[in-house]
Amino acid sequence: MNFDLLKSKVTEIVSNTNDSVEKRLFEICNVLESQIDYYDWVGFYFKNGDKDELKLGPYVGESTDHEIIPFGKGICGQVALSNTNFVVPDVSAQDNYLACSISVKAEIVIPIFVDDENIGQIDIDSKTANPFSDKDERFLEFVCHEVAKIL
């Protein structure tokens, strides 16, 4: 898997104004989940209006019970408050974690900023233990930066 090629693909998707924003976000999830073998669930969460909670947006993977996540709860809710990347090599070592599936071993969450405000995030679950490196963080920061342009 080649992150540079995937970056081009993400930019192409974001630029396709023929599709709705929702569809483009879904396409990004689809490309990431299908092209990166250790990305097993890929989705977006966004701040739910004025509420201090996240709401599930487009995603690819198993359906999840966690369609609404209060700020502070789980890995996602913590990122909503911390404004920083959260890389979890082993989810079983986390106290504040919301399990989606018992097969998930690791998770990475990267915030999305629009006008310096944390408005949401991309969330990736992996069935592989400790799969994420700095390269994933840089790549996903790029994805979030591109996505922010259409939000």
Residues within the interface to ligand SME (CB under 6 A): 41, 43, 64, 66, 69, 74-77, 97-98, 100, 107, 123, 125
User: What's the closest the beta carbon of residue 63 comes to ligand SME, in angstroms?
Assistant: 9
Task: Report the residue number, 5 or 68, with the smaller CB distance to ligand SME.
Answer: 68
Name the token pair of 71: 């700020």
Q: Report helix, strand or coil for 148.
A: helix
Nearer to ligand SME, 13 or 126 (CB): 126
Q: Are 109 and 86 in contact (CB under 8 A)?
A: yes
For 48, the 3-state DSSP assignment is coil
| Closest distance of CB 41 from ligand SME, Å | 6
Nearer to ligand SME, 31 or 122 (CB): 122
Sign of the CA dihedral with 90 first, then 91, 92, and 94 last:
positive
**Least distance CB 83 / ligand SME (angstroms):** 15
Beta-ladder partners of 125: 41, 107
